[in-house]
Structure 1
Amino acid sequence: MADLLGTTAQSVLRWVCRYVDRFCTKPLPGEAVVIELDEMWHFLQRRDNKVWIWKAYDRMTGRLVDWECGARDERTFRRLFERLGRWKVCLFCSDNYVFYPLVLTVGGHYQGKGETVSLERNNGQQRHSKPLQNNKRRTSF
């Protein structure tokens, strides 16, 4: 994509993130008893050029409440986590990725693949969904 546009992959990533922030509305903060957290990647034109999407999923409502695009690093996760502070979250569930226990507090975090099944299903649906036909724009994850 970057070659097509005559720019860098980082510029394309910034454009995609701005587009998502503008057209993929996030719900207003409220109460979310259990939030599942996970990160997934997509290729940008070639295998060695990945973009990571960190996602927060409300287990009770079955919807994404927030997401963050960037690298697979603590800094990107912290940006998402800081916004989640507006929600009344009782418990965060995640897989065993190294950055979660560095940011999430003991007692408010459960770590284990068995507790992120709903979000993993959402990741699979997002990754394998077919593009919409008839010029319909996809506006949410």
Structure 2
Amino acid sequence: MARVTGVSWSWLQNYVNNKFSQVPRQVKVTDKPKGKLIIECDELWSFVFCQKIKVYIWLAIDRTTREIIGCYLGDKSRQSAKKLWDSLPGVYRQCAVAYTDFWESYKTVIPSKRHRPVGQETGQTNPIERLNNTFRQRISRLVR
């Protein structure tokens, strides 16, 4: 890109870094109607560089609107689950009921009164599982 535009690599890197620093870190979600907020959380993984290095994509969606309301890239640890929880807008962290799989990390991060660990057979996490499958179909790097 630098060669085509005739600028130096350092100038281009500084420009990209400057633009990236202006990108908001919190997602903007639509206003929610009064009522019960329900979210679904799940993760999918991919390799980086080689098969030994896995990166997990942690996602949270609003069940009603199907909006992605939280995201984090990391490993399969409690700290990553906490980062996903921290990425959610405040209204979801304070009020939403969260459906997840039985992953131990979720249990330690999501308040127990609002955490609903469920199996796939219940269908309670179908929308997020469907989203993950769509990502796997459309983004070849995410194929297992």
Look up the match of 2:29.
Answer: 28
Look up the match of 2:56.
Answer: 52
1:101 and 2:102 are equivalent in the alignment = no
Count of residues in correspondence between the two structures: 112
- Consecutive unaligned residues in structure 1, runs of 5 or more: 1-18, 132-141
Using structure 2 for the length normalisation, give the TM-score. Answer: 0.67
Max Rg structure: 2
Q: 1:76 aligned to 70, 73, 80, which one? A: 80
Is the contact made by 1:40 and 1:53 (CA closer than 8 Å) also made in structure 2? yes
1:63, distance to aligned residue in structure 2 (A): 1.7
Pairs within 5 Å for 1:1-141: 22=23, 26-28=27-29, 30-31=31-32, 33-84=37-88, 86-88=90-92, 89-113=95-119, 114=122, 115-129=124-138
Q: 1:85 to 1:23 in 2, by over 3 A?
A: closer
Q: 1:43 to 1:86 in 2, by over 3 A?
A: same
- Consecutive unaligned residues in structure 2, runs of 5 or more: 1-19
1:93-141 Cα offsets, whole Å, 9 max, x none, are 000001111111222011112321110110010011057xxxxxxxxxx
Look up the match of 2:6.
Answer: none
Q: 1:130 to 1:81 in 2, by over 3 A?
A: closer
Q: 1:60 to 1:102 in 2, by over 3 A?
A: same
Residues in 1 aligned to 2:86 and 2:28: alpha-carbon distance in whole angstroms: 16
Using structure 1 for the length normalisation, give the TM-score. Answer: 0.68
Is the contact made by 1:30 and 1:87 (CA closer than 8 Å) also made in structure 2? no
Is the contact made by 1:30 and 1:86 (CA closer than 8 Å) also made in structure 2? no
User: How well do the aligned residues superpose, as a CA RMSD in angstroms?
Assistant: 2.7
> Percent identity, aligned pairs only?
23
